Chains A and B, each alone.
Chain A
Amino acid sequence: MIWGVAALAALLYPIPFEQTGYVYYETVGFLVLLNAMLGIGWNIIGGWAGQFDFGPNIFFATGAYTAALLAIHFQCNAWLALLGAVVVSVAICAAVTYPITRLRGHYFAIATVAMWMIAQPIGATWELINGSRGLFLPVAPGGGFAHGMLTMEFAGRGKGLGFYYLALLLFALTLLGARAVERSKLGFYFRAVRDDQEGAEGIGIDSRLYKVIARCLMAAIFAAGGVLYGFWALAVFPDQVLEVNWNILPMMAAVVGGLGRLWGPVLGSIILIPISQLMTATLGAGPLAGRGIDLIIYGAVIMLIAGWRPNGLLSLPWERWAARFRGRAAAQPVKS
């Protein structure tokens, strides 16, 4: 019932804005879904496998660049390009992650940061991807909503709506996929490695293999997100796809919502992204512009949530509250 309402709300969300022309809010919805999707991906390695990855955006960038190259040089359809981007990112992830799975805790985290730092000059200077001049995606104008959904090409007014639904589709697929992983052998093994690596190895779990698998699943999701972002932005620039926010926001969404919980990053993203957008839109302009007031308030909100509820908002006793609420609702007719 509650899931039906949530799904319906997600489906209907952009309609009033499309009617009234406030398409900006469609973009906010797009960013919420994109970050929620990335957060679910990060939660697989950070929340379930317990390995903190501070440089996941290298796969976001790999995805965006691979798809852009395929679209530019081979006139590849966006969905085929997405598939190719996922395959390439997962392959690269497997190759670079296996050596660092010997490391644990802070050292694993540092290695992932190092990878991101290495990726930045590569992105800015590599001729194949046009260095800091970036790649521009060819977009054929015209074509309706259905054509846009099949090609990720939207021109003009329908773009906000189209990309909202593209993001919703990828988000839903990610959520269902992550749910299946959580309930499978993989989900059990990831958490076993997180809770006690020696203990996990002692019952026959190859901890290095499962860390690689966890990070590759994350890489696949980040790559898909990067492709979506590339087609949305119509261009891929190194400083945009390797931007630090693609590391921080998904991670923060997972932590604020509830680390290691399937819906944690979704809740975190629904809370954090609109606040950030609202702050930027209201305080980023006007007399206080350029002073970073919006970022200060944003940071304070995160610190408050993190300090008050370190295990994330989903760790609150929601079920007990819901039961009490239901109990009261059921009791009311008797009283009256």
Chain B
Amino acid sequence: MPALLQVESCTKRFGGLVANHDVSLVIEPGEIVGLIGPNGAGKTTLFNCISGALHPDEGRIRLQGVDISHSRPERVCRLGIARTWQVVRSFGRMTVLENVICGALRRTNRVGPARARALELIAFTGLAGREDTPAAGLTLADKKRLEITRALATAPRLLLLDEAMSGLTPIETTAAVALVRRIHRELGLAICVVEHVMEVVMPLSHRVVVLDHGEKLTEGPPEEVARDERVVTAYLGDRYRARG
């Protein structure tokens, strides 16, 4: 049986800039994978390639064996990958409930059942009570939570979270981590988390993939990766290694 997601030697260039070079990565069903790296390492580019917003110049991306390297985002979503964005993309003039209904309509054509499913998910992610608030009026933490809820409504097999926890206060971050854990435990989804905050991603992930300058530096269990000399260098620079 093929892995849930298989990225095979993916390369993406923007003119002369190589954002991803020969990146390979596998995500198995029910796994939480952390994708980390300093700013500009190519994390979001890889995410965009997986979700269909961009297409790799070289290499293949397969979802359960189906080639999605050149599929448009709506098809990738239909096949079972849902994502959130680093810069929130909620539907500002629609209410929280309407936002989630839009997601749930991926799996049904009737608004009634979509509404019922949306209400369940809103309760699940802790947005209950804010159903009728316009999305533009939410706090950043709630907007990110809404995006996760909307993504879940499309009934994905793999959830891609692009910095779902950055820009939040410590308390909000804790709540967001708890939500990701609960999604994993109760819905049994595979989740890929992009973060550059190590403290968040390390305790959460089963496995961590480190990108630096567009290339995969290393991957492995969080404890191992955190001790890796090259990862420390990538994050903190040579000066710190010299000192430490």
Closest residue of A by beta carbon distance from B83: A202
Interface residues of B in 43-88 (CB under 8 A from A): 51-53, 72-74, 77-78, 82-83, 85
- Contacts A192-B94, A196-B90 given; does A201 touch B102 at CB 8 Å: no
Q: Is B105 an interface residue when CB atoms closer than 8 A count as contact? A: yes
Closest residue of A by beta carbon distance from B105: A185
Q: Which residues of A contact B13 (CB under 8 A)?
A: none
Query: A178–B107 Cα gap in the complex (Å)?
Result: 24
- Do most interface residues of chain A lie in helix, strand or loop, or is the interface mixed? helix
Closest residue of B by beta carbon distance from A187: B111
Query: A204–B150 Cα gap in the complex (Å)?
Result: 11
Query: A287–B135 Cα gap in the complex (Å)?
Result: 55
- Asked if A189 and B89 make an inter-chain contact with CB atoms under 8 angstroms apart, the answer reads no
- Asked if A201 and B109 make an inter-chain contact with CB atoms under 8 angstroms apart, the answer reads no
Interface residues of A in 65-110 (CB under 8 A from B): none
| A interface list, Cβ under 8 A from B | 183-185, 188-189, 191-192, 194-196, 198-207, 260
Query: A260–B98 Cα gap in the complex (Å)?
Result: 15
- Asked if B78 and A204 make an inter-chain contact with CB atoms under 8 angstroms apart, the answer reads yes
| B interface list, Cβ under 8 A from A | 51-53, 72-74, 77-78, 82-83, 85, 89-94, 98, 101-103, 105-106, 109-111, 114, 135, 147, 150-151, 153-154
- Other contacts beyond A195-B90, A202-B51, A202-B151: 7, CB < 8 A: A185-B109, A192-B102, A199-B89, A201-B52, A202-B53, A203-B77, A203-B82
CB distance from B118 to the nearest CB of A (A): 10
CB distance from B149 to the nearest CB of A (A): 11
- Asked if B98 and A202 make an inter-chain contact with CB atoms under 8 angstroms apart, the answer reads no
Q: Which residues of A contact B73 (CB under 8 A)?
A: 198, 201-202
- Asked if B111 and A185 make an inter-chain contact with CB atoms under 8 angstroms apart, the answer reads yes
Closest residue of B by beta carbon distance from A196: B89
Q: Which residues of A contact B90 (CB under 8 A)?
A: 195-196, 199
- Contacts A192-B91, A195-B91 given; does A200 touch B102 at CB 8 Å: yes
Q: Which residues of B contact A203 (CB under 8 A)?
A: 77, 82, 102-103, 106, 150-151, 153-154
Closest residue of B by beta carbon distance from A198: B89
Q: Which residues of B contact A188 (CB under 8 A)?
A: 94, 98, 101-102, 105, 111
Closest residue of A by beta carbon distance from B91: A195
- Asked if B77 and A195 make an inter-chain contact with CB atoms under 8 angstroms apart, the answer reads no
Query: A194–B94 Cα gap in the complex (Å)?
Result: 10
- Contacts A195-B91, A196-B91 given; does A201 touch B154 at CB 8 Å: no
Show 12 residue pairs from A and B whose CB-CB distance is below 8 angstroms, ordered by the A residue. A183-B111, A185-B105, A188-B98, A188-B102, A198-B53, A200-B91, A202-B51, A202-B73, A202-B85, A202-B151, A203-B151, A205-B74
Across the interface, B154 reaches (CB within 8 A) one of A184, A185, A196, A204, namely A204
Closest residue of A by beta carbon distance from B150: A203
CB distance from B54 to the nearest CB of A (A): 11
CB distance from B76 to the nearest CB of A (A): 8
Query: A265–B101 Cα gap in the complex (Å)?
Result: 26
Query: A200–B105 Cα gap in the complex (Å)?
Result: 11
Q: Which residues of B contact A198 (CB under 8 A)?
A: 53, 73, 85, 89
- Asked if B106 and A204 make an inter-chain contact with CB atoms under 8 angstroms apart, the answer reads yes
Query: A160–B5 Cα gap in the complex (Å)?
Result: 67
